[in-house]
Amino acid sequence: SEAGELNFCNPRASYTIVRHGTFEKRNKHWPDLMRSKDNSMDNQEFWKHEYIKHGSCCTDLFNETQYFDLALVLKDRFDLLTTFRIHGIVPRSSHTVDKIKKTIRSVTGVLPNLSCTKNM
């Protein structure tokens, strides 16, 4: 683990299932790409994982709702999809993890912690 990483600060953190407007907002702007919308509504493991991995590291600053609201604000502030297109990182193209990290850093100012996984 690299110095300064904020991951799994409290692995016993809990996640609150969301419904209605809150679910719709998260699903529209931060969807679980591995599940259908209906399955995501019942099984919010994706958001649970993100909150336990990252949100548990900032509970002294943000409650769970505030963490997700801030994540959505930051997503809109840093338009990564446009930045990727400008740098030629588009679907069905191949790039190194290093190029993708540097492209993200060009917008956010920080080098992300990324790695490749085999598609299953």
Long-range contacts of 109-118, Cβ-Cβ distance < 8 Å, separation of 24 or more: 113/2, 113/5
Average confidence score pLDDT of the chain = 90
Contact 83, 67 (CB under 8 A): no
Q: What is the pLDDT of residue 4?
A: 61
Does the reported pTM lie above 0.85?
no
Q: What is the dihedral of CA 26, 31, 37, 42, to 10 degrees?
A: -70
Structure confidence by residue, pLDDT tens digits, 27-43 = 999 999 889 999 999 99
pLDDT value, residue 119: 63
List phi, psi (to 5°) of 61.
-110, -35
Residue 118 predicted with pLDDT over 80:
no
pLDDT at residue 114, as a whole number: 82
Q: Per-domain residue ranges for the chain?
A: 20-77, 78-119
> What are the residue ranges of helices labelled H in the chain?
20-29, 37-42, 45-53, 64-77, 80-86, 97-108
Note the Cα 97 to chain centre separation in Å: 17
